[in-house]
Structure 1
């Protein structure tokens, strides 16, 4: 069975740094999907201290991760990486379920869920 999300070592290192810098040790990394963006759906990455009964839970590279059950199907097989460049760094998200994305790469849609696109 495919893992809901994959977190690379580089992404895990960055998440750990952010947890320390933002005093979020002991929190979960919540990975989710929200409506919006040019293509209808956007990714959400944030810290939470709450874990709901319906959440899927996994731990990768020492990072506790929760994904809402309703988002798990949309995110199934998604890879979260962190890339550093001369212009700075940022997370990259590769979702095999996305069939379209906007030019800037921050929003997407899937065959089963389109979300609510915003005007760009």
Structure 2
């Protein structure tokens, strides 16, 4: 398992905004998960009109080959294959009048589908 420190690594797999970390931690605690070991897994999977889509879920612990980072108290797990697609991305949480939820800002995307749910690099 590799570990990237949020403030010490010049090339983290992803970054997480304070708003996203706060919301994810609240949801983790609501599920009764131990935030000292559990975390948010951010991954890429096949699917959607553009070919790839983002996935997120809570995991009780990291896998052996995960990159593990911590942002604002939130542990984030990224597997090696997903890191190739989302390296340099930022996870944010928006709660506006028209949209509420997590959003990945990915500098590697060359095109997205019309609904914004899938992408191509």
Indicate the residue corresponding to 1:104 in structure 2.
Answer: 115
| 3-state SS of paired residue (2:32) | coil
Q: Does 1:69 align with 2:80?
A: yes
Superposed displacement of residue 103, structure 1: 1.0
Which is worse superposed, 91-100 or 80-89? Answer: 80-89
How many pairs were matched up?
110
Indicate the residue corresponding to 2:95 in structure 1.
Answer: 84
Q: Does 1:5 align with 2:8?
A: no
Superposed displacement of residue 36, structure 1: 0.2
Structure-1 separation of matches of 2:99 and 2:109: 26
Superposed displacement of residue 87, structure 1: 3.7
User: TM-score scaled by structure 1?
Assistant: 0.85
User: TM-score scaled by structure 2?
Assistant: 0.84
| Partner of residue 50 from structure 2, selected from 22, 39, 43 | 39
| 3-state SS of paired residue (2:64) | coil
Q: Does 1:16 align with 2:6?
A: no
Indicate the residue corresponding to 1:28 in structure 2.
Answer: 39
Please tell me the root mean square deviation across aligned C-alpha atoms, in Å. 1.3
Structure-2 separation of matches of 1:74 and 1:39: 14
Superposed displacement of residue 16, structure 1: 1.1
